[in-house]
Structure formats: structure tokens, C-alpha cells
A and B are shown apart, each in its own frame.
Chain A
Amino acid sequence: MSDLEAFRGETRAWLEENCPPTMRTPMTSEDETVWGGRREKYTNPEAKLWLDRMGGKGWTAPNWPKEYGGGGLSKEEAKVLGQELGRIGARPALASFGLWMLGPVLLEYATEEQKQRFLPQIVRGEIRWCQGYSEPGAGSDLAGLQTRAVLDGDEWVINGQKVWTSFADMADCIFCLVRTDTSTKHEGISFLLIDMDQSGVTTKPIKLISGSSPFCETFLDDAKTPKDNLIGRENGGWEIAKKLLMHERTNISSGGFGGGGRMTPIEAVAKEYLGEVDGRIGDAVLRDKIVAHKMRERAFGLTVKRSQAEAKAGEVSPASSIIKYIAAEMNKSRLEMLFEVMGLQTLGWEGDYFSDFGLGTTRGMLRSKANSIEGGTSEINLNVVAKRVLGLRDHQ
């Protein structure tokens, strides 16, 4: 038996023993997602147990090094773990911006002391992080950000406003891009970690077209953070910021999209709502649209698989923009199609006349419009591909 097969055996046995029964059923709503942090309510105690066990073993971050609380697994072992989790239909123990975005750049850019301080908390889901990048005047042109940080003795003092900060009202800490030099653009940005549990930080939820409020305006008024919460060099934050975006894009595309209904088999819904003719989806035009979509989805899945096979464990590149671009556009068209297929059922906003599924699809369709905006718009991702992958130049 190879080492890998031995690892599979041990993993299977461990999961059998440690994954609680209710963590092996599909989630019925996004509310069941466990984000961790100081304010997590854990309505289901087994969710807490599952997180504690997985976090304790470092398997929420399978390929981070053991010394920072991670699982220390090789790329192959991490893949086996993923397969075994999939086999029993285990829910993710933890959803986390810390795992997906912050952690990977800390591993690359933070000091030893910072890694020890921040990474294990992320692995165990003790601290929930949010992302303070965008500002009212700096979206796609992110480097135009104006939030100012000034060093005052042992502390940074931060003033400014962030916007579209996802889950800021639920997060404990924020990783923030701040301006530390106003005389230049990209070279005047620093990457700071800030605890939000202080009077200098306030958040105000913003309501989306889908009716929910998953993001906020975040105000920083004389907010303070210790001097050594600066990651990397002062004025060296832009490189870290871009790297983090690549991790974000890679992650978003492999399943982190808002919009829901990911698991809904659109072809089965189509047969139900459009009827069947000789065992086929009743409407020939929609059938072809659905098939074309299913085929693209499969091609996309294979492309993700291929890019993962090509990359070293945890490595990202500007090519993540290709994946993000396709995934965003595809998820939007999937939800538009589901929306169309269900006919009248998706034309409601609320009330008993409409099914929960119909109402959910409608809101999902609306929410999915953000897929090509969040984490960098489709246009910006195409810019990245054109310039950094294909080597095309700007106007001179």
C-alpha cells in the first residue's frame, strides 16, 4: 500500500469517527454556513464540534504548515482529504476570508512573529476577517484609495471610509489597504491589520437588490492599530494587495460565489416546469440553451482541474483572472436560465403564492449579478489577462 493510500485509510477512519451526522447533510440555506469568529452563534452545536475538530487537526487549512496550525499536508494528501470529505458529503467546517485570502499572503509576506500571532486563529476559526479594499472613489481603480494611516508612536492612526465591505458588521478584524504616502499612487499603499472592536471603527449595512444586506460601509475615524500590524514594508502594500486578489479570484471561482442554487440540477427543473416530450425537456429552444450551458460548465470544471494540476500547492498567478472571468459570467447565465425556466414562479418577490424555490431563485439571480463585480469586475479581469498573461500594452 502506498503512503497515499495509507493516508486515505487513516483519513477515512478519522472522518468516520469525527464528522457529526448533521454535518454530512447538504446545507438547506446559506445561513447554515459557519464563518467562525467571536460572534458566531452556532445554532447547531454539532457545527461547533465539527469546526473544533477540523480546526484542531489543521484540516481547515490542509496545506498550511503545521507550525502555524495548518494541516501540513502535501498537495496530493490535501486532494485525498478533499475526496474523502466529498465522499461522505461533509459540509465545509469553516468559511473564511482568513483562509481564502488573508492567510495565503501572510504565509508569503508576514514576519515569523506575525504568522504565529495570526495564522493559528484563522485555522481554528477564532477570528473572522473582512476585506477593506474598496472605497467610494476607488473601486476598479483600487490604487486610487485615500484612507490615510499615520504612524503615531507605537500606533497607526487610520482615517477614511471603506465601502462594499462584505460582512463587516459580523467580522472581528479587517485587513485594510491604507495610504501611507500621498505623493505617489501605487507605491504609497500599505497593508494593515485592524481590530474592529474599537470606537474608531463603525459599520453600516447596505441593502442589495436581492433584499439582503451582506455588506457595509465601514468608517474609520481615528481607528488605531499596533505598529507591528503592518504586513510587509511600509508603502509596499500594493504587491500584497494584488497577490491577495489572485487568491480571492481563484477561490471565488472554485465555489465561493454568491447566488446560491449551485446544486440545483437545471435539467430536472426544466423537465418539471416545461414538461417532457419523449423523455426530453419539452421546449427545444431552452433545451439547447441548457445543454450548451451544461457543456460549458463541464468544460470549465475540467479547466479548473487542469489549472490546479499545473499549479504548485497554494500557488496563484494572473491566470486566476481567466477562471474568475469565466466562472462569473457562467454563474450569471446559469441563474438567468433557471429564472427563465421556472416561468411565473420566479416573478414574485414574497408571499405564499410563490414557492420558496422560486423566490430563492429570483433573489439568487439578482445576487449573482455581483459575481462579475466582486473580486474585480469582468472588465478588469480581462484587462489583467490581456496585459499580464498575453503581454498586450497600454496606450503609450
Chain B
Amino acid sequence: MGMILNEEQTLLQDSAREFFKEKAPVTALRALRDEKDATGYSKNLWKSMVDMGWPGIIVPEAYGGLDFGFQGLTIVLEQSGQGLTASPLVSTVLLGASTLVLGGSEAQKETLLPQIVSGDLTMTLAIDEGAHFNPAGIALEATAAGAGFVLTGQKTLVLDGHVADKIIVAARTSGSAGDRGGITLFVVDGNAVGVSREKLAMLDSRNAALVTLSNVKVDADAVVGEIDGGFCILGQVLDRAAIGLAAEMLGSMSEVFDFTLEYLKERTQFGQLIGSFQSLQHRAAIMFSELEMARSVVMEAASAVDEGSAQVSQLASLAKSIVNETANLVTREGVQMHGGIGMTDEHDMGLYIKRSRVAERTFGSAAYHHDRYASLNGY
């Protein structure tokens, strides 16, 4: 199915909605921001999420997970988007666990996945190096040395990179930037000698770090998948990342739409509710239509992952691009329809527009995914 949630998925959605409403409303992100929290997320909250079993949602039962399916993860991500919840769900689960499940060796899965499930291990994936998302353009150098490798270079926008226990680094072992071949994935300890990490003060108050590696030594068993063949795994992980983030964005955008619609029904000008002005009514109706389309593509893409469909890459680009455009529209219209109050730091609208702009750029902009979709289809 996929276009309609089944009973178990609906229960998951309900409990996730309740959970985030109660434990992580948008005031939680505001507090992290105002207190300039060094971790950037609440470890207590993460512990509660671990208790819900969510880190194991895509992990096979053999490694202690729930094996609930990828669509389940997108359901939780969507609900976490409602209140802009900061947590390692994207870094550790969507990126880290996905990479291990898709490409990890048996030994890597056996040691790392149970620790993710139990909340003892946080992970992330380091991809970006330049100004724009371009996974084939990876240049960070990894050279063979003895039985292992030495890594040198810099990664940016590494989600939770300043605190993650382990970082999967996409590095170049042969070829040159732009080649899909020659990329290898390495699991690097966050505290390894030669790793320096700096939390970046991001627009959206969420976690991203600059990670610099100078002569970081790793053993041969740190390699995830094949040497030089990392792009194949990376591609699949990034498809899931795009779909998962699109789900989170959908949750945030539904929230913006809901509180904007509320405002249209309560704010009075000229002796009328502003929601009775047709120019606003039509724009609200258009936003709603766009959100419906966004929801359809996210659901289709998420269920395609579970079905092992050959369409996953196309649908990932479709979902991320449509959601990016919708998020951009909904935040622009949201801030406009609130008038002056929406421009104040005190109002939540600002937090949502800031998060949206960062998320729109993460794992590929609309332009990136248009081009990718066109290439995949031979246009």
C-alpha cells in the first residue's frame, strides 16, 4: 500500500505526535538556542526517544532493532518536524544506521547497530565539502598506509558532527573530484587523534559542524563496503536521507500551515477576519493543495524504499524537490500572512522559516534534484 498508513503505522504516528507535543514543543528548540547549548540537543529527550525504540526502527531484529520499516522512520521524522525537534534522529538513524544496514560488514553491524539501538552510540555521515551539495565531488583524501588508511581534509555541515561518537567519512581513495568511482566510506572515531570539530552556529539553531581531519589513521576494518565503491552505498543512503528529511520538512510545514490558518481565523482588520479576504483565501487554498501533493510524494517515496522499488532514486529526488518548493512557499506565505508579528523573534514563524531554508539546502536543493531527476529519466 503505502499511500494509506496501516494500523501499526497509524498507532506509531499517534504515539509520535503525542510524544513530540508533550516532550519537545518548539519552545525546546528556542531554549537550546537561547542558552547556546553546547550539545545542541537534549540528551534526556534522546534517551526518551531511545526508550520508544525509535533508533532501532530501521534496524533488523537480528541486531536488536524493531525492523519496522523505513516508512515508520519517516512517520516519526514527520512528527519531530512539527515542533522542529533537535535530536540525533537524522544523524544517527537516518544517516548512520542506514549506512550500516545498507553497506556495513557483518562485524560492523554486530558491534555498532545494537549500540545505536540501545542509545549508547551516536553517529553521523560527513559528505559536504563545498558550497553546494555535490556528493560526487568528494575530494577529502584517504591514502593507503600499511594495513589501513590515512585521512586528511575537511568536511562541512556534518550533522551533529561536533558530538557524534562516530563519523562515517566519505573520502576519495582514487580518481578525482567529480568521479563516482574512487569514493570510500570510513567509520572514524569522533575523538580520534587528528580529528578536530567545531560546532557551527547555524541559521536554524540546529546542529552542524565543521570537521577537520589531519592525518587521521584508520584500520582496514573501518571501511564500509568496498574500497573505491562507496558511492553506490552513499547514493542509497542519500536517497533515504532526502526522503527522510522531506518527511521532517512536511511535518514542519503542516505546522506552519495550521498556525497560519488559525491566525487567518482570529485576526481582525477592517472589522473583518483577515481570512475572509479572498486574496488570502486563495493563497491559503493553494498552499493546502501544494501540501497535499507534497504528502503524496513523501508517502510514495517512503513506501518505495520498503518495497525495494527500482524507482527509489527518482522518487527521492521527486520528494525532496517538491517538498523544498512547498516549504519555501509555505514559509514565505506564512510570514506574509502574519504581518508584523511574524517578523518578531518572539513569534515561532521565524524559527520555521530559518529551519526550512537550511533543510531546503541539506541533501540537495530543488535545482539539484530537478537536474538529477532529469538525468535519471534521460531528459
Contact = CB atoms under 8 A, between A and B. Distances in A.
Q: How large is the interface on A (under 10, 10 to 19, 20 to 34, 35 or more residues)?
A: 35 or more
Given A292-B370, A303-B293, A386 B4 contact: no
Interface string A371-396: 00000000100110111011111111
A295 B4 CA distance: 21
Name the residue among B294, B296, B375 with the largest chain A CB count within 10 angstroms.
B296
Contacts of A288: 367, 370-371, 374
Nearest to A383: B281
B282 A382 contact: yes
Nearest to B325: A292
A303 B288 contact: no
Name the residue among B265, B289, B321 with the largest chain A CB count within 10 angstroms.
B289
B272 A395 contact: yes
B272 A396 contact: yes
A219 interface: no
Interface stretch (A108-116, A145-153, A304-312): A304-312
A383 B3 CA distance: 27
Contact of A326 (B281, B293, B367): B293
B31 interface: no
A181 B184 CA distance: 79
A379 B379 contact: no
B261 interface: yes
B285 to A, nearest CB: 4
Contacts of A391: 265
Interface stretch (A94-102, A167-175, A279-287, A351-359): A279-287
Interface in A288-302: 288, 290-292, 294-296, 298-300, 302
Contact of B284 (A287, A386, A396): A386
Main secondary structure of the interface of B (DSSP, over half): helix
B265 A299 contact: no
A390 B261 contact: yes
Nearest to B285: A385
A299 B318 contact: yes
Given A287-B379, A291-B370, A392-B264, A325 B289 contact: yes
A392 B296 contact: no
A392 B265 contact: yes
A377 to B, nearest CB: 12
Nearest to A385: B285
A155 interface: no
Contacts of B294: 299
Contact of A299 (B4, B282, B322, B375): B322
Contacts of B265: 391-393
B286 interface: yes
Given A267-B379, A295-B322, A392 B293 contact: no
Name the residue among A267, A385, A391 with the largest chain B CB count within 10 angstroms.
A385
Contacts of A326: 289, 293
A216 B186 CA distance: 72
A322 interface: yes
Contact of B286 (A300, A303, A382): A382
A60 B285 CA distance: 34
Nearest to A271: B379
A287 B272 CA distance: 45
B270 to A, nearest CB: 9
Given A295-B318, A393-B275, A310 B4 contact: yes
13 contacts: A267-B379, A280-B374, A281-B374, A288-B371, A291-B371, A295-B322, A306-B3, A322-B289, A326-B293, A386-B284, A390-B281, A393-B265, A393-B275
Query: 4 tightest CB-CB pairs across the interface, nearest first?
Result: A386-B281, A385-B285, A302-B296, A303-B296
Interface of A: 267, 270, 279-281, 287-288, 290-292, 294-296, 298-300, 302-303, 305-306, 309-310, 322, 325-326, 379, 382-383, 385-387, 389-396
